[in-house]
Amino acid sequence: MVNDFQRGSLSTRLGIPMIYGTDAVHGNGNTYKATIFPHNVGLGATRQVVGCAKHYVGDGGTTNGINANNTVISRHGLLSIHMPPYYHSIIKGVATVMVSYSSWNGIKMHTSHDLITGFLKNTLRFRGFVISDWSALDVITTPPGANYSHSIEVAINAGIDMVMTPFNYTRFIDGITPLVKKNVIPMSRIDDAVRRILRVKFVMGLFQNPLADHSMAKYLGIQKHRELAREAVRKSLVLLKNGKSADKPLLPLPKKASKILVAGSHADNHGYQCGGWTINWQGFSGNNFTSVGEHPYAESLGDKLNLKIREPGPGTITNVCGAVKCIVIIISGRPLVIQPYLSTIDALAAAWLPGTEGQGVAKVLFGHYGFTRKLPRTWFKTLDQLPMNVGDPHYDPLFPFGFGLTTKPSKTN
């Protein structure tokens, strides 16, 4: 498909190749047989394609954690808490930055000349191109699309170089052309955007090799990739409880255990273990596409004020842990309510959304490797504590930021 698009681009007067972007946030998740890595919440616990840094900036600090909401914070707070990942990404040579749907103190990020041109391009000296989010210009106004010409003007003048228009690109072209002809959007701004986009295409080698190499398909899902993903899984697991008492740990399990019951809706379900942005935007359920916790989600469909484990999860915990010694592995994209069940659970570990290589979890449970990692975020006791972060006067978590029990690899059992 992409090669067909590219041939169309190469057949035009200037023959400039197209750059095609895809949401590959934890592996090439739109490609069948690809290895899917843990989501970033898991990779954050490890403390360890042209890439894209997103979403610029502050989308992780919105009010109530709601997607595309408003981030209320001082400039100092924004730069010290939310900006560091962009410093590091630019130093490492990231080629594109995607702007967030969210606002900073009521100002839509897609309209912020201060932060896009002033800070990102001028202060941080970012030389790649800035891209809008999906159909983001439509939602600059309320209601969406109420004044599209105005949205184009403020976004491009703010410093957006490439615009994602998924449905009606001619509407965008028809809107921007008169703005440039009237110098509402200066030609210098267009030149800057074109220069940046061409620079990235040249650095990528698109002018020399514009078409995808089909011979590379044989590398999808190869053992080397899977082993790397399993390593990432192992290094993202966080052990939260190990035994009813500290002197009687349950983990690691004996490698020659005679009987083990594996229960729960997520235990044998690649879709649930991979989470959103896997094959489909919102992910999937089952094991047919790629080879006790949350169903897959992405973006606003994941916004929840009730962060409780869905049934049959609680029933499974109650039934199993009430009958035998039990280890609960939570498959989720964030901390969930677990305190009501904690006393009945013998051992508890957060596996986040590990991807296709769940074997990495088993290797640690059975002592081939030890638990060594720490929580990348605070785990709350009750929902009424939220929001809660380190340094808050009411900071009283179930497990604090940075918490994680450790085990040593077992050599003999």
CATH of the domain at 361: 3.40.50.1700
Same domain, 110 and 200: yes
For helices 187-204 and 148-158, the axis angle rounded to 10 degrees is 60
Residues 200 and 247 in one domain: no
* Same domain flag for 248 and 197: no
Map tokens 């677990």 to a residue: 338
Listed residues 190, 205, 220: the one ending a domain: 205
CATH code, domain carrying 172: 3.20.20.300
Instruction: Name 53's Cβ contacts closer than 8 Å, sequence gap at least 6.
Output: 85, 86, 89, 90, 94, 96, 97, 98
Q: Are residues 298 and 193 in the same domain?
A: no
Same domain, yes or no: 131 and 260: no
What's the predicted TM-score (pTM) here? Answer: 0.85
- Is the residue at 119 inside a domain? yes
Residues in the chain: 413
| Any domain includes 189 | yes
Residue 137 lies in a domain: yes
State which of 332, 347, 366 marks the end of a domain: 366
Catalytic residues: 133, 299
Same domain, 310 and 268: yes
Domain of residue 295 covers 229-366
Tell me if 272 is assigned to some domain: yes
Q: Which amino acid makes up residue 321?
A: C
Q: How far is CA 30 from CA 35, 134, 391, in A?
A: 11, 17, 40
Q: At which of 351, 366, 381 does a domain end?
A: 366
Residues 242 and 147 in one domain: no
Question: Is residue 340 assigned to a domain?
Answer: yes
Q: CA of 266: how far to CAs of 214, 324, 350, 387, in Å?
A: 34, 20, 13, 27
Residue 351 has φ and ψ, to the nearest 5°, of -105, 0
For residues 267 and 197, membership in a common domain is answered with no
The answer to whether residues 242 and 298 belong to one domain is yes
Strand 107-108 versus strand 103-104 pairing type: antiparallel
Number of domains within the chain: 2
Clarify whether residues 201 and 233 are in a common domain: no
pLDDT tens track, the chain, 413 positions: 999 999 999 999 999 999 998 888 888 777 888 888 888 777 777 654 778 999 999 999 999 889 999 999 999 999 999 999 999 999 999 999 999 999 999 999 999 999 999 999 999 999 999 999 999 999 999 999 999 999 999 999 999 999 999 999 999 999 999 999 999 999 999 999 999 999 999 999 999 999 998 898 899 999 999 999 999 999 999 999 999 888 899 999 998 888 899 998 888 888 788 887 776 666 766 665 443 866 777 777 777 778 999 899 999 999 999 999 999 999 999 999 999 999 999 999 999 999 989 899 999 999 999 999 999 999 999 999 998 989 999 999 999 999 999 999 987 65
| 55 in any annotated domain | yes
User: How many alpha carbons lie under 13 Å from residue 243 in its C-beta half-sphere?
Assistant: 12
Q: Are 196 and 234 contained in the same domain? A: no
Do 198 and 278 have their domain in common? no
User: Looking at the domain assignment, is residue 167 inside a domain?
Assistant: yes
Residue 300: inside a domain, yes or no? yes
Question: How many CA atoms does the CB half-sphere of 39 hold within 13 Å?
Answer: 22
